[in-house]
Amino acid sequence: MKKIFFELVLLIFLCTTISYSQTYAIKIDKYSISPDMKVEFIRFGRADESWRIVGSCKSAINYTKVEIVDFVTIGRVKTVEITKSAMADRDICIVNPEDLPRSVLDMLR
């Protein structure tokens, strides 16, 4: 009986921790002087990370300034694939969704 109870408690604990996901707030800044991160969104190929955009978060206080580049240049640029899968590396909300480039909006469809 103790073993079944212990397994049940362990199962509940694992299910609650696996389903928890942190959402990261980003602000798109096309011509930033000092962005926190530069990203290139790709459709095909090997990406550094996959992001699932979960919506907007206009009232976010803490966010990461992201500059979107059209192609990888010299410097630190992260390639990102936008996905709808729950297995994405990060869940992202956007502080300023009106500033998303058309190419990124097309990827969301």
Tens digits of per-residue pLDDT, 46-64? 889 999 989 889 888 999 9
pTM above 0.75, yes or no: no
Mean pLDDT of 86-93: 90
Closest CA to 50 of 79, 76, 25: 79
What are the residues whose beta carbons fall under 8 Å from the beta carbon of 54, sequence distance 6 or more?
Answer: 23, 91, 92, 93
Q: What is the DSSP letter of 75?
A: S
Tens digits of per-residue pLDDT, 13-40? 444 434 345 889 999 887 778 889 988 8
